[in-house]
Structure 1
């Protein structure tokens, strides 16, 4: 078995444990001497009844959803356990040659439950499968929502954002202060822990203001795509950002009124 991307040490340990448990579960179970050979199958269970498992003897099958391969299975993997219970799941497919040994579900389960040790192995196998899925989801989620942030040290007078430029990053001031200008007129300021530059990321329009460091600043820059992923995954962060933007717009409007 293998997963998309580089597996963590935990996932590798679980995969190895699952392979070992499959061997233990099959001890004493009579397998068919004649494997089934297939090539280029879009959905394994369009060709077989769902009361069958399969042991891969040669080749490879993929668990696939919407044309994307999620998990790969190869020699020694026991597949179709969940599929045999007619649940809505991704399909098992292959573009290659594969040899499978069919296993009758009911006969296999009778084999498992006829021995207490095998019952223990079976329970352990199912728990490991679940742990593998949870760890894989956690690793995938962490990869998708972790911003690729870059830290920059800015000197007084340096331009952080230039009005009219395309929006490629969202910024946070870690330390220091900056001023906000629109058409050369100061309309606001930004302090520590404030997020700025997000509006143009959401609207897709050029920067509407220039931001210039007033003091030495340390800023964190998050690429546009990573910032959007973070907001989608953390709704609370989106709410806080909206509140922050609303306060800043209110302050800027008041400053423009006072100037008139």
Structure 2
């Protein structure tokens, strides 16, 4: 069996164990049918009864759902176990040449259960296959659901965002304060629970200001695509953002007034 992407050492060990168990289970089992060759098969079990299992002699078959290959089976693999018990399962397909030896499910199971040693290995085979898929799924879920809100601890003078840079993160100060600079002029401060950096993220424009920690700070950085989910989960964050924007607009208006009067 081949699993796409980078696999962990645990998954690789289970793959190796599965191959060893397959070889043991097939010892002394006589396949009565001749090998068959197929090419560009969209669904193997549209061509064969579901009580058929297959040993791959050459080529590959793919577990596929919605046009996506989830796993691939190669030479020496037994395929069709779940399908042969009428379980809901992805289809088995291939775009290329494959050579298979078909054999009857019930005859194979009689072979397995006629020997206590093979019964033992058959149990191991099923458990190993289940553990393999669970481990692989756990790796995928871990990768896909890694925390998207990154927490950073900063010291005074550390730059959080820089004027002119591209924007892809929205920030919240959890603890501490930061100064805001436009063209190297201090135009304000940001305090605890204030959200900043959102406007450039959503407008696609470069950062309009530089923000530098003025004290020891803990900040949370959230990617744009996850900010909406954060707002849904924590409505207070939306209220804080609106209040911050209103305060900054008032501050900028006052600065314009002051400049006009000077």
> Where does the alignment leave 5 or more consecutive residues of structure 1 unmatched?
none
For 2:171 and 2:139, the matched residues in 1 are separated by 26
- Specify the alignment match of 2:161 in structure 1: 160
Q: 1:236 to 1:150 in 2, by over 3 A?
A: closer
Q: Provide the C-alpha distance between the structure 2 equivalents of 1:173 and 1:243, rounded to a whole number of angstroms.
A: 14
What's the Cα RMSD here?
Answer: 4.0
Displacement of 1:61 in angstroms is: 1.1
Displacement of 1:210:
4.2
Structure 1 or 2, whichever has the larger Rg, is 2
Hey, what does 1:189 align to over in structure 2?
A: 190
Partner of 1:249: 242
Change (3 A) 1:65 1:157: closer
Q: Is the 8 A contact 1:52 1:105 kept in 2?
A: yes
Output the CA distance in 1 between the equivalents of 2:75 and 2:240: 60
CA contact (8 A) 2:162 2:207 kept: no
Structure 2 residue matching 1:98: 3-state secondary structure: strand
Do 1:52 and 1:84's aligned partners in 2 also have CA atoms closer than 8 Å? yes
Q: Deviations over 1:73-122 (max 9, x none)?
A: 11110111111122222111111211101021111112222222222211
Q: Provide the rounded CA distance (Å) in 2 between the counterparts of 1:186 and 1:246.
A: 22
TM-score after normalising by structure 1: 0.75
Q: How does 1:1-260 map to 2 (within 5 A)?
A: 1-32=1-32, 34-146=34-146, 156=157, 158=159, 160=161, 162=163, 167-171=167-171, 176-179=176-179, 189-191=190-192, 196-197=196-197, 201=201, 203=202, 206=205, 210=209, 212-215=211-214, 224=223, 228=225, 239-240=233-234, 242-250=235-243
The number of residue pairs the alignment matches comes to: 251
Per-residue deviation, 1:30: 1.2
Alpha-carbon distance change, 204 to 94 in structure 1, aligned in 2, over 3 angstroms:
farther
Say if 1:62 and 1:69, in contact at 8 Å, map to a contact too: yes
- Which ranges of structure 2 fall in alignment gaps of 5 or more residues? 255-262
Q: Please, which moves more after superposition, 139-148 or 209-218?
A: 209-218
Distance 1:217 1:124, change over 3 A: same
Q: TM-score, normalised by structure 2?
A: 0.75
Contact 1:56 1:101 in 2 (8 A): yes
State the distance in 1 between where 2:230 and 2:41 align: 44
Aligned to 1:3, what secondary structure does the other structure show? coil
